[in-house]
Structure 1
Amino acid sequence: MESIWRKTCEIESRPQLSGDIKAQALVIGAGMAGILTAYYLEQAGVKTIVLESGKIGGGQTQNTTAKITAQHGLVCSRLLKKVSREKARTYMEASQKAVDAYKEIIEREQIACDFQQAGSYIYSQKEEELTKELEAASQLGVPANYVTKVESPVPCAGAVKFKGQGQFHPLKFLKALCGSLEIYENSQVLGAEDHKVWTAHGSVEADKIIFASHYPFYNFPGFYFARMHQERSYVLALENAGKLEGMYLGTGQEPYSFRGYGKYILLGGCGCRTGENQMGGNIENLRQAARDFFPESREVACWAAQDCMTADRIPFIGSYGKAKPDWLVATGFGKWGMTGSMVSAMLLKDLVCGIKNPYQPVFTPARFSSVELPQMFLDTGKAVKGLSRQIFQRPSEKAEDLACGRGGIVKTEGKKAGVYKNQEGELSIVKVKCTHMGCQMEWNPDEKTWDCPCHGSRFDREGNVIDGPAQKAAVFSDKTPPKGSMSMNFEKQKTP
């Protein structure tokens, strides 16, 4: 699965960190949030280094739909239910400022990234739902209008439109920003103290350490594992599907997303909580929707994104936790990583530089509200269920009974294991116990991966980490990680 962005943009490789270096600020993660943060810090005169465990833009940034918008679903009415009017207004101001900041950077740096100014639409079959959103937008001072003529192929009563939003090619934008930054690829952080981190071949000492790694991989302080869950969603790039002006997102049980990119239309939807796609069929359901909406179209790319979801749907941006005053974090962007990344970069730059930022009270990770409790209880329940399954559930399948191309949980040599049988009948065996906090992983037949339903870690069929927060491979081995290590490579195991 490779996105249209990755297919159409190659970013020059950077070296692996080797040796011990120092900086004023260290950013962990070279996705949109990390690169924007480093860019702003360097603009402010702060010597900054970026460490990336894989490739620049190789995580969620390459899998976005790349909508630059303050319209995060029925955002205005949702905010007014969860936070005060003042905080809701501040959230919307920050989001729109992020949209404007992209435009400013693209113009100032003369970045050729296929940027287009476009309207953003939230459509619904329920007129009352749209009316409430329009009223909420008015209360928050957000320019919006109700339209009845909507280009979306999904029948609807109308849509609420935000003018002056944008869309672009995220990797072309990232490639341009990377030019002047000191970035080290294939440099996974294996350990960290207050002002120093280690990789396999070096270390970085910095006054401030910023975690922009999608999901924070240190459980403490912060307890982010108890305050977020992860969701997956799927996207198709379709040609011969006609033209589409603007960006669209629906409401309800299946909120399909649409936007244009050149000769393509990007169709998104059919998502689920990570680890809850045991039956499969989500990608095929999206392909069926494509056939229904655009019967003459042809699929040229298919990919998936993974999003960190906070209980109140507001990102965590700020101090990692009281015990680590010089650690900062940016996570929990929900489905809106482009605006979340920009808000993070602007806010984190001010925090590093000692500048008071009016948006900090809204996004601070230290916040807590009773409205978050239902979602937190639900997420905790999912985690308890995953742990219980690991301890008590007995495998119901035998490895020899698996069909080719299938995965399942079996008992082998007295141990519970995850087994995948390829088309040649070879078996790949992994630990089915997630290396993050011990929950039982589930087989994802659509993507042929092992996914954790508790906190969203994902592993390939050989047990290698694809998505965190897990850092260790889920492979049976008698090897012991070196002292102070958070991650280790293990050998692949196969049975005849």
Structure 2
Amino acid sequence: MTQTIWLTTNIKSFDSLNESLETDVTIVGGGITGILSAYLLSKNGIRVVLLERGRLLHGTTGHTTAKVTAQHGLIYNELLEHFGLENTQKYYKSQVEAIQFIKEITEQYQIACQFDQQDAILYTNSDQNYKKLEDEAKAYQQLNISADLVKEIPFEIPHKVALSMYQQAQFHPTEFLKVIIDKIVENGGKIYENTTAVDIDYQNKVTLRTARDHNVLSDNIIVATQFPFYEGQAFYSTRMYPSRSYVLSLTSNQEYPGGMYLDVDQPKRSIRYVKHKNETVWLLGGESHKTGQYQKENTNPYRDLQSFGSQYLDVKDWYYQWSTQDYITLDKIPYIGSLNKRHPNVYVATGFRKWGMTNSVVAAHLLTDLIMNRDNPYKDLYQPQRFHADPDVKKFISFNSNVTKEFVTGKLGLNNEPDQLDPETAIKKKHNGQIIGIYKDEHNQVHSVDTTCTHLGCECNWNQAEKSWDCPCHGSRFSYDGTIIEGPATKHLKKIDLEN
């Protein structure tokens, strides 16, 4: 069943914005970052308006694996090499404080969100990555992180060594955030769903324009839309790339041994558990790839995950499956702060590199401090305007070469098969001199769209596993009928009438 386990719970709904408003802070994006920012600001007496394009929590937050950890893959040795000890310590400390915040809020409001302390474990079956795990363990020692290299993990998965970071956590994100949403409303915050932000204007105050021409005037705007819907010549499109990953949920004939696991080899595998309807459900994630860029035809990440699970996890039953998307910055540290120097009162939080549960907390606190003119020790570390010569320049050139390649080759990459499609498949064709995408649904109805992304004009590619048109440049995704699913685009793909 293609549904995320986190969205099987009831989440309060809100009306769409149907009038123009004035407030202190406008927040665009109803995921964990936007919600926590609205909570912290409203708790401090700041008037907030929170706008969400669809439903609250139905984006990346509702499709996470919800690990609450400072162990973000193989990162600390790399950060030490490129940023030095002081900055790396700040990164780690900010993540630890984020875990503690979630723990404290859970206890304060007695939230039944399965907050549970677990060890986080990286493992490898590769000699090359064995050395990397050893180097990572040495970095942990420099940072005084409580951890151990161990030879065994409690699965039959092939492995040579593992690195365990102690006393990390996991939780049920939507159960946690449902309570926070109630607190925002109690604090006087206003929330609107199904309201699309399309532009920002600058006058005496900042004007947020929506697709239905209702404006919100405020002193500050927070753009918490995963990828900034508004870039304001800050060129985030050139400084991040989108990556997708996939999750299957299952029950096993084995008892879950505890811990949260991540394979550092390729393809990566993530394992944790959650209690769901009185059962212990395992979450198996992985199969990451750049959005819209598929290494093989007819790729099916769910099938590959299922094969892995059947081989190693003694599967009893399969349940929900879902996918998620996040953005990765050039130096792997999120961008949190002012959009750019020209627009200091427009703030962004993006590039969480799939570790959004803690980074969202870091962002909410940092943005609240910036708006309230309070000191924050992490301001310089996360500021979006940073640009480091190493390793950024090579990555900048490599990434933008990749974007250019996708822009050009996507326009040329046609499938010249005949129009006789099998149900639930798609092709690209030339029609009246333009490239279009044609999809036939399970009822043999044909859906035709212009596959040019409405964000910056790259050519979308077909994602057979999720029946979507995905932009390989900046991560906008559209349903087979052209409807926006996610990403920076604010307009649907144009529908094409094949009769004309």
Please classify the TM superposition score into its range, dividing by the shorter chain length: over 0.9
The worse-fitting range, judged by mean Cα deviation, of 453-462 and 418-427 is: 418-427
1:224 corresponds to 2:236:
yes
| 1:292 CA displacement | 0.7
Query: Which residue type is aligned with residue 208 of structure 2?
Result: V
2:259 to 228, 240, 246: 246
Tell me if the contact between 2:309 and 2:315 (Cα under 8 Å) persists in the aligned partners: no
Q: Equivalents in 2 of 1:153, 1:342: separation in Å?
A: 35
Match in the other structure for 2:187: none
Tell me if the contact between 1:221 and 1:323 (Cα under 8 Å) persists in the aligned partners: no
Match in the other structure for 2:153: 150
For normalisation by structure 1, the TM-score amounts to 0.93
Match in the other structure for 2:131: 128
Match in the other structure for 1:486: none
Tell me if the contact between 1:34 and 1:345 (Cα under 8 Å) persists in the aligned partners: yes
1:426 to 431, 445, 462: 445
Tell me if the contact between 2:155 and 2:312 (Cα under 8 Å) persists in the aligned partners: no
Q: Equivalents in 2 of 1:206, 1:100: separation in Å?
A: 32
2:162 is paired with a residue whose SS is strand
Q: Equivalents in 2 of 1:255, 1:78: separation in Å?
A: 19
The verdict on how the C-alpha distance between 1:241 and 1:473 changes in structure 2, with shifts beyond 3 A counting, is: farther
Q: Equivalents in 1 of 2:262, 2:91: separation in Å?
A: 20
Match in the other structure for 1:375: 395
Q: What does residue range 287-298 of structure 1 map to in structure 2 within 5 Å?
A: 287-298=306-317
1:385 to 402, 405, 409: 405
1:401 corresponds to 2:420:
yes
1:270 to 265, 271, 287: 287
Q: What does residue range 390-469 of structure 1 map to in structure 2 within 5 Å?
A: 390-391=410-411, 393=412, 395-398=414-417, 400-469=419-488
Match in the other structure for 1:204: 216
Q: Equivalents in 2 of 1:401, 1:389: separation in Å?
A: 25
1:336 corresponds to 2:339:
no
What do residues 442-468 of structure 1 show as CA deviations (whole Å, max 9, x unaligned)? 111111111111111111100111111
| 1:137 CA displacement | 1.0
| 1:255 CA displacement | 1.8
The verdict on how the C-alpha distance between 1:495 and 1:31 changes in structure 2, with shifts beyond 3 A counting, is: farther
1:235 corresponds to 2:247:
yes
Q: Equivalents in 2 of 1:112, 1:281: separation in Å?
A: 35
Query: Which residue type is aligned with residue 49 of structure 1?
Result: V
Match in the other structure for 2:193: 185
Tell me if the contact between 1:389 and 1:439 (Cα under 8 Å) persists in the aligned partners: no
Query: Which residue type is aligned with residue 202 of structure 1?
Result: H
1:258 corresponds to 2:271:
yes
Q: Equivalents in 2 of 1:227, 1:145: separation in Å?
A: 35
2:171 to 168, 171, 178: 168
Percent sequence identity over aligned pairs: 35
| 1:53 CA displacement | 0.7
2:451 is paired with a residue whose SS is coil
Q: What does residue range 285-364 of structure 1 map to in structure 2 within 5 Å?
A: 285-364=304-383
The verdict on how the C-alpha distance between 1:153 and 1:177 changes in structure 2, with shifts beyond 3 A counting, is: farther
2:326 is paired with a residue whose SS is strand
The worse-fitting range, judged by mean Cα deviation, of 107-116 and 300-309 is: 107-116
Q: Equivalents in 2 of 1:421, 1:186: separation in Å?
A: 28
Match in the other structure for 1:482: none
1:3 corresponds to 2:4:
yes
| 1:93 CA displacement | 0.7
Q: Equivalents in 2 of 1:438, 1:167: separation in Å?
A: 39
Q: Equivalents in 2 of 1:292, 1:461: separation in Å?
A: 33
The verdict on how the C-alpha distance between 1:476 and 1:163 changes in structure 2, with shifts beyond 3 A counting, is: same
Q: Equivalents in 2 of 1:441, 1:256: separation in Å?
A: 27
Q: Equivalents in 1 of 2:379, 2:315: separation in Å?
A: 48
1:84 is paired with a residue whose SS is helix
What do residues 5-37 of structure 1 show as CA deviations (whole Å, max 9, x unaligned)? 112x11011111121222111110110010011
Query: Which residue type is aligned with residue 86 of structure 1?
Result: E
Query: Which residue type is aligned with residue 197 of structure 1?
Result: L
What do residues 175-229 of structure 1 show as CA deviations (whole Å, max 9, x unaligned)? 1100032211111113221311122162211111000011001232311000001
Match in the other structure for 1:83: 83
Q: Equivalents in 2 of 1:241, 1:439: separation in Å?
A: 46
Query: Which residue type is aligned with residue 50 of structure 2?
Result: V
The verdict on how the C-alpha distance between 1:147 and 1:433 changes in structure 2, with shifts beyond 3 A counting, is: same
| 1:399 CA displacement | 5.3
Tell me if the contact between 2:20 and 2:214 (Cα under 8 Å) persists in the aligned partners: yes
The worse-fitting range, judged by mean Cα deviation, of 340-349 and 287-296 is: 287-296
| 1:241 CA displacement | 4.7
Q: Equivalents in 2 of 1:353, 1:109: separation in Å?
A: 25
Match in the other structure for 1:72: 72
* Count, aligned residues: 479
The verdict on how the C-alpha distance between 1:351 and 1:394 changes in structure 2, with shifts beyond 3 A counting, is: closer
Unaligned runs of 5+ in 2: 185-189
Query: Which residue type is aligned with residue 344 of structure 1?
Result: A
Match in the other structure for 1:215: 227
What do residues 111-163 of structure 1 show as CA deviations (whole Å, max 9, x unaligned)? 11111111111112344322211111111232222223322442222322111
1:138 is paired with a residue whose SS is helix
Match in the other structure for 1:480: none
Aligned-residue RMSD, C-alpha: 1.7
Q: Equivalents in 2 of 1:494, 1:448: separation in Å?
A: 20
Q: After the TM superposition, list the runs of 4 or more consecutive aligned residues in structure 1 that deviate by more than 4 angstroms.
A: 493-496
| 1:396 CA displacement | 3.6
Tell me if the contact between 2:416 and 2:429 (Cα under 8 Å) persists in the aligned partners: yes
The worse-fitting range, judged by mean Cα deviation, of 165-174 and 181-190 is: 181-190
Q: Equivalents in 1 of 2:54, 2:72: separation in Å?
A: 29
Q: Equivalents in 2 of 1:476, 1:343: separation in Å?
A: 41
The verdict on how the C-alpha distance between 1:111 and 1:353 changes in structure 2, with shifts beyond 3 A counting, is: same
Tell me if the contact between 2:220 and 2:371 (Cα under 8 Å) persists in the aligned partners: yes
Tell me if the contact between 2:268 and 2:288 (Cα under 8 Å) persists in the aligned partners: no
Q: Equivalents in 2 of 1:178, 1:399: separation in Å?
A: 51
The verdict on how the C-alpha distance between 1:62 and 1:314 changes in structure 2, with shifts beyond 3 A counting, is: same
Q: Equivalents in 1 of 2:443, 2:44: separation in Å?
A: 56
For normalisation by structure 2, the TM-score amounts to 0.92
Tell me if the contact between 2:252 and 2:314 (Cα under 8 Å) persists in the aligned partners: no
Unaligned runs of 5+ in 1: 478-492
2:368 is paired with a residue whose SS is helix
